[in-house]
Structure 1
Amino acid sequence: MTTWRCVTQCGACCHLQPGDRPELEDYLTPEELRQYLSLVGEDGWCVHFDHSSRKCTIYEQRPLFCRVTPENFKRMYAVEAEEFNEFAIDCCQQQIEAVYGEESPEIDHYNQEIGF
């Protein structure tokens, strides 16, 4: 079984463009939604994303909804723990392809790193 993990220097999840995520209200609380929208920069990227390093500048203090854990995915998406890895990997792949493209070096790197 392939295990989900974050791949460094990707950052696709930091592209927060609300128009690309119309279902935000379905899985974020009203307070989380306000916080989420406050993080979206003019370019659609999180204001805490460093484009040169492709890293979060507040990683240790990032909001709960930015943390990919079985507990959060159960709360937000009703995904059971045994489905977490497959679901999280699929989410990452979809987001990477949407942000960088289906034939991008980023999706190739992600798939290689997780052993896909």
Structure 2
Amino acid sequence: MLLLSTMAAGAARSVSVRLNAVAALSSSTSSGGRSRKGQRRGDAKPQAPPPPLPRHGEAPSKKKPSARPAVGKENRAVEEARVPPRLEGEARKGVQQQNKAKRVVRWKCASGCGACCKLDKGPDFPTPKEVFADHPDDLQLYKSMIGADGWCINYDKSTRTCNIYQERPMFCRVEPKVFDEFFGVPRSRFDREACSACVDNIKMVYGDDSAELSNFKRVIREESNKVEASKNQDKLLDT
């Protein structure tokens, strides 16, 4: 019984050795091709074959293998489109400068509007008490000018003009000094803030798609273009 067990163990060991040898042979064959003739098991693996010699009349290739991994078409397109950070920053700065140059705005009153003469402006606007917090006398005058319909009592609706335009109060004048004193708006932002205030008033009185709003935007655009043209002319004269 012991003999049979030993023989069985020896046979199993022999089979295991043969299987290991076959596995090693398969691994060697799959990784490096067939073993060279005369090469013994356990010897070092054969070196990779040298590159083929150039054909007759063909110059030897000097191209070195690239160390970078292969890039797919999509990744290659992304790499080619990628802009260096420095150049990207310069390009963005140039676009910002162009946009800034295009945003020259100059305020101008559009005749036939009168939206600012609607003194009772509703909850979406600051109350007279908030606007005239530091000017109590102006607050009383402002309140006295509000008619029953919310419009200024000095506003002529038939002609859309002011009956006291030359003598109108200071707070009715759209000027840098007024915006600075009543709203804290500096001179550098006057034109932009004045245009924004007019747009808000026109939308409140006449609506977002009104002819009055389109007319105001046209007037501002034309006035701004005149200022821009004048600046460009001055630059040409300076050069």
Q: Which bin holds the TM-score, normalised by the shorter protein? A: over 0.9
Structure 1 position 69, deviation (Å)? 0.5
Cα displacement string for residues 28-83 of structure 1 (whole angstroms, at most 9, x for unaligned residues): 21111110010011111000000011010100000000001000100000000000
The one-letter amino acid paired with 1:7 is A
Of structures 1 and 2, the one with the larger relative CO (CA 8 A, separation 6+) is 1
Q: Which runs of 5+ in 1 are unaligned?
A: none
Tell me the distance in 1 between the aligned counterparts of 2:177 and 2:217. 24
The answer to whether structure 1 residue 53 and structure 2 residue 145 are counterparts is no
Tell me the distance in 1 between the aligned counterparts of 2:201 and 2:121. 13
The one-letter amino acid paired with 2:179 is F
Structure 1 position 18, deviation (Å)? 5.4
Pick aligned residue for 1:76 from 182, 197, 212: 182
Q: Which moved more, 1:63-72 or 1:24-33?
A: 24-33
Pick aligned residue for 1:11 from 114, 120, 126: 114
Judged with a 3 Å threshold, the aligned counterparts in structure 2 of structure 1 residues 18 and 2 are, in CA distance, closer, same or farther, namely closer
TM-score by length of 1: 0.94
Equivalent position SS for 1:79: coil
TM-score by length of 2: 0.47
Cα displacement string for residues 87-116 of structure 1 (whole angstroms, at most 9, x for unaligned residues): 000000000000100011110110011118
Pick aligned residue for 1:95 from 201, 212, 234: 201
Aligned-residue CA RMSD in angstroms? 1.3
Equivalent position SS for 2:142: helix
The one-letter amino acid paired with 2:218 is Q
* Count of equivalent residues: 116
Judged with a 3 Å threshold, the aligned counterparts in structure 2 of structure 1 residues 112 and 79 are, in CA distance, closer, same or farther, namely same
Pick aligned residue for 1:63 from 163, 166, 169: 169
Cα displacement string for residues 12-33 of structure 1 (whole angstroms, at most 9, x for unaligned residues): 0000015444432233211111
Q: Which moved more, 1:17-26 or 1:105-114?
A: 17-26
Q: Percent identity?
A: 38
Pick aligned residue for 1:27 from 131, 135, 140: 131
Name which one, 1 or 2, has greater alpha-carbon Rg: 2
The one-letter amino acid paired with 2:220 is I
